[in-house]
Structure 1
Amino acid sequence: MQADKRPLRFVIIGAGMAGMLAGIRLKERGDTDFTIYEKGDSVGGTWRENSYPGLACDTPAHSYTYSFATNPEWSAFYAPGAEIRAYFEQIAGRYDLKSQIAFNTEISSCRFVDGRWRITTTEGCEDVADVIVAATGVLHHPAMPDIPGLEDFAGPCFHSARWDHSVPLEDKRVGVIGNGSTGVQIVSALSKVAGRLVHFQRSPQWIMPCPDLKYSEADKQVFRDDPAKIEEVRNGPEASARRARFTAAIIDLESPELAEIQSIVERNLRESISDPKLREKLRPDYRAACKRMVFSAHYYDAVQKPNVEVVVGAIERVEPSGIRMKDGSFYELDVIALATGFRVDQFVRPMVVEGFGGKSLDAFWSEHPRAYYAVTVPEFPNFFLLNGPTGPVGNFTLIDIAEAQWAYIDQLVDLLRAGTCDAVAPTMSALDEYEVRRTEAAKRTVFASGCRSWYLDKQGVPQVWPWSYAYFQEVMKRPKLEDYALMQGQ
């Protein structure tokens, strides 16, 4: 590689896992002219936004760490949310990132003018950058359900990502709407404290059993003394087999791996739920892994407690004192928790992003968000996405994904550092070809096998990575420069 010739100014949007990664990697390269803009008051992204009861990661804790900053102190195989947030706080301190983070600062617009990005905050402050790294994440715009009468409820009602910890729940009648991983975690936790707990769900979920493994002090000492033990948890035979099994299951509906997963979740339901009526109520009518897999060691135990009821069906409306179903049944409640997910099609929106000639990213994404290999967008030069549209978000660790994407991005930035070009963006033909291949492959994945999920766009096509995890790692090793426009004097 040529010696660096051009000093670059970077703006990173978001101080969650991916934005922090970008800052750390830039500092390692000696690129210190950057600012991370963060709309919240601290680092951590989704782990700052979410603090609901039972919050935990559904990826093994040792896999949900940066490869260069492992953590022998995790208390459990699946770490609770507060520990994950503390980990990111600790990393921010270790790498002295906070001095370059503008907290409580939201970006309103980014416009590419005269070869540089002009950035404006919601407070009217301005910045200029050669490169933008959009690390805004996917799960940060809460999706409020469109249920008639929701605003008429007389008691506290809040989204899981805006949990109101001032509301007492002991001995209260609590309704939880939604049964993705968040809803399952909340119900598992609140079953221990609520007087009556009602779990409302449109359709049941397959539950993958997982170990409730806590690490003892002796376990932690082993990890401290021998980092290879951490690496074994991260990428050893068991972890590799689990990743390979899930990858094969996703991309091939006839695979023995998907049949194995189906067998596991069916056995879990059969052996965990003793009441035949409840067992059938909890049985999904779609294939395992069609929706994002839900991992839980406690949900099936929770729903069999005498103070817990599962209600499957459509909600007619919310009334001041509770929820009425379309079948006429009514459930009196004191508190409603909305585990209804996020607006996953937003990404950097509602921020205004304009590329060449004022081209609007919002307009470009009007049908659905798209990016070349989930990282770059035609006509938006020097604009890079971490965990962007169509990336492999399905039950893989997003840290590993972001690290691979950064290695790819850094090679494109090298072209700018070396003066090979002033601006770089994929060609439209490269994105079109990628989207045709990706769409056709997505239609053959388990995600398109007949369920309703947040993976699907308005046409019902999964907006996720449809190939193997190994293929993702392969294409991230080196950009195909023939698919990029390298521009001078922009």
Structure 2
Amino acid sequence: MNMSVAREHFEPAGAWAAQGRQPRIAIIGAGFSGIGALIKLRKQGYTDLTCFEKAEKIGGTWRDNHYPGLSCDVPSHFYSYSFEPNPDWTHRFSYGPEIWAYMNKVADKYEVKRDIHLNCGVADLKYLGPQWQLTTAHGDVEIFDLVIAATGVLVNPAYPAIKGLDSFAGLQWHSARWRDDVSLQGKRVGIIGTGSTACQIVGAIAGEVAHLDVFQRTPHWLNAMPQKEYSATWRFMLRWVPGLQLAIRNFMRWLMEYTFARATLGDEKQQQRVQDACEAFLQEQVPDPELRARLTPNYKATCKRMIMCSEYYPALQQDNVALITDRIDEIVPEGVKTADDKIHELDILLLATGFKVSDFILPTRVTGENGLELAEFWRDAPRAHRALTFPGFPNFFMLEGPTGVFGNTSLIDISEHQIACVIAIIDRMKQEGVAVVAPKQEAYEAYNRAMSRDIGKSTWATGGCDSWYLDATGTPNIYPWLPQRYREDMLNPNFSEYRFEQLPVAVS
């Protein structure tokens, strides 16, 4: 792809709105959020769209992650676009390949792949008022009126800070960079991490490997995954019975959010129900009291994102699987050395250590008004106005931005509502013929004060754990209220919180 600056100078401020032309809109990322934005913007009549995807295929986290046992822990009929229900889901909780296939099918149906430039990451964004100069990783430059970052949060793998990590003589890889070309059959395998990804991998590979060492720093609370394969009759009913798919979707949304969101946000009775369910599941699945004690966390069940996995506990009790709870001292060429001076010899070392969830669009350099860089704006911790916009960065939106994570719910559903808000703001710019939109500083500060106040009351903050939701200040970077409140905010944006301006711009 060979791109260059389309104009020798920037057009007059507000040209796209005041002069009636289409706004040039850049979308960064072609996962569920980016594809959803392309579809919804085009439906609204905005057609000058360019989506930049750094990888060779679309798909986001469902492209990057393809490890054994990968599945979604949000029900299929809720973890999908509301405008494109799928009666053909084969399971209540879909497996990774089926989700990726669904995404591609939707992109093909709505013909949005023509707007997507693959193998084309974005290296730099610079606000030159009222437009943005975008520079790709290849050095090509384009100018856009509006930028929508849809880069997600499960993007950049996090690697553990363990001495000697690079000294291991065997094969080693992160779960998000799975080696499909390597067989685990008959191998001595170690896995670092015991979160959701690790639980799925352990359950999937325990019966294949010669031996598996599971290195646990902190135990997690688990609940059963109520998986179910859908029959052909059920799928037929979903396709042909009017309203059934929508009813199932709404019920699944209510169930997930009532069960988990309320439990984290002050409903003590619901929190206790979740706690009791997790304790009962552990008691039922692990009869050995010594192993059960090592698997029992010392924090509340709703302090971290709930792990739903039915295969993990049984796998740990297989003869060829060992749970290692001694601290890892270092990685040596032979394997993993623990605090008891034992070396656990391995052929393959797997890192299920999560992602740098506070990076968001970084390491792309984003420079706003007056030379302010987004990385500097986030120096203390990533913050946003309603998880979507930032003062000092006009005409810039971020789907699933800071505090836009909601625990156990569908981020597809959340991003759809964010896209609706972005479109409402763009429509307002068009109606008023303005060039610039950004949240007011006072609105941003008031919103984040309220968030900081109320998140402190949740079990994300008081549950006694150290979760990946915590930012550098120790504050949970997560939405502190019920998801329904956020949906209503997105569908009914308060335009008084934003500055809409028609600014003169010098020709460069």
> What is the TM-score of this pair, normalised by structure 2?
0.93
C-alpha contact 1:141 1:343 (8 A) present in aligned 2: yes
Match of 2:353 among 322, 326, 340: 340
**Residue equivalent to 1:322:** 335
Shift of 1:419: 3.5
C-alpha contact 2:22 2:47 (8 A) present in aligned 1: no
C-alpha contact 1:374 1:387 (8 A) present in aligned 2: yes
- The change in CA–CA distance for 1:126 and 1:239 in structure 2 (over 3 A counts) is closer
**Residue equivalent to 1:286:** 299
**Residue equivalent to 2:11:** none
Shift of 1:423: 0.7
Distance (whole Å) between structure 1 residues aligned to residue 129 and residue 304 of structure 2: 44
**Residue equivalent to 1:399:** 412
- The change in CA–CA distance for 1:313 and 1:473 in structure 2 (over 3 A counts) is farther
Deviations 1:267-324 (A, max 9, x none): 0000111111111111111100211110012111111111111112421011111111
Shift of 1:218: 2.0
Distance (whole Å) between structure 1 residues aligned to residue 479 and residue 380 of structure 2: 18
Deviations 1:376-400 (A, max 9, x none): 0001111011111001331110011
Distance (whole Å) between structure 2 residues aligned to residue 452 and residue 267 of structure 1: 23
C-alpha contact 2:148 2:397 (8 A) present in aligned 1: yes
Distance (whole Å) between structure 1 residues aligned to residue 248 and residue 279 of structure 2: 27
**Residue equivalent to 2:96:** 81
After superposition, where does 1:428-447 map in structure 2 within 5 Å?
428-447=441-460
C-alpha contact 1:179 1:201 (8 A) present in aligned 2: yes
Deviations 1:192-242 (A, max 9, x none): 211111111111110011212111222222222225222232112x64143
Deviations 1:312-360 (A, max 9, x none): 2421011111111123233111101100000011001111111112211
Distance (whole Å) between structure 1 residues aligned to residue 275 and residue 224 of structure 2: 12
The answer to whether residue 87 in structure 2 is matched with residue 72 in structure 1 is: yes
Shift of 1:58: 0.8
**Residue equivalent to 1:185:** 200
> What is the TM-score of this pair, normalised by structure 1?
0.97
Corresponding pairs, count: 487
**Residue equivalent to 2:6:** none
C-alpha contact 2:194 2:216 (8 A) present in aligned 1: yes
**Residue equivalent to 1:267:** 280
Match of 1:367 among 380, 400, 406: 380
Q: What RMSD, in angstroms, separates the aligned Cα atoms of the two structures?
A: 1.5
Distance (whole Å) between structure 2 residues aligned to residue 227 and residue 325 of structure 1: 59
C-alpha contact 1:302 1:308 (8 A) present in aligned 2: yes
After superposition, where does 1:205-354 map in structure 2 within 5 Å?
205-226=220-241, 228-236=243-251, 239-252=253-266, 255-354=268-367
The answer to whether residue 140 in structure 2 is matched with residue 125 in structure 1 is: yes
**Residue equivalent to 2:7:** none
Shift of 1:476: 1.4
Q: In the alignment, residue 277 of structure 1 is paired with which amino acid?
A: E
Partner SS for 1:61: coil
C-alpha contact 2:315 2:321 (8 A) present in aligned 1: yes
C-alpha contact 1:408 1:476 (8 A) present in aligned 2: yes
**Residue equivalent to 1:28:** 43
Distance (whole Å) between structure 1 residues aligned to residue 230 and residue 496 of structure 2: 49
Q: In the alignment, residue 447 of structure 1 is paired with which amino acid?
A: W
Distance (whole Å) between structure 2 residues aligned to residue 173 and residue 30 of structure 1: 56
Distance (whole Å) between structure 2 residues aligned to residue 242 and residue 464 of structure 1: 17
- The change in CA–CA distance for 1:227 and 1:141 in structure 2 (over 3 A counts) is farther
**Residue equivalent to 2:424:** 411
After superposition, where does 1:136-147 map in structure 2 within 5 Å?
136-147=151-162
Partner SS for 1:12: strand
The answer to whether residue 481 in structure 2 is matched with residue 453 in structure 1 is: no
After superposition, where does 1:2-13 map in structure 2 within 5 Å?
5-13=20-28
The answer to whether residue 180 in structure 2 is matched with residue 160 in structure 1 is: no
Deviations 1:406-431 (A, max 9, x none): 11111111122224421100011111
**Residue equivalent to 2:128:** 113
Distance (whole Å) between structure 1 residues aligned to residue 351 and residue 188 of structure 2: 14
Deviations 1:89-141 (A, max 9, x none): 11110011111100000101111113111100011111111110000000100
C-alpha contact 1:36 1:102 (8 A) present in aligned 2: yes
Shift of 1:6: 4.3
Match of 2:368 among 331, 340, 355: 355
Q: Which runs of 5+ in 1 are unaligned?
A: none
- The change in CA–CA distance for 1:338 and 1:98 in structure 2 (over 3 A counts) is same
Q: In the alignment, residue 184 of structure 2 is paired with which amino acid?
A: L
Distance (whole Å) between structure 1 residues aligned to residue 88 and residue 56 of structure 2: 25
Distance (whole Å) between structure 2 residues aligned to residue 227 and residue 416 of structure 1: 38
Distance (whole Å) between structure 1 residues aligned to residue 51 and residue 384 of structure 2: 22
The answer to whether residue 427 in structure 2 is matched with residue 389 in structure 1 is: no
Distance (whole Å) between structure 2 residues aligned to residue 241 and residue 71 of structure 1: 19
Partner SS for 1:63: coil
Distance (whole Å) between structure 2 residues aligned to residue 6 and residue 251 of structure 1: 46
Shift of 1:366: 1.0
Distance (whole Å) between structure 2 residues aligned to residue 213 and residue 3 of structure 1: 54
Distance (whole Å) between structure 2 residues aligned to residue 394 and residue 414 of structure 1: 31
Distance (whole Å) between structure 1 residues aligned to residue 147 and residue 328 of structure 2: 43
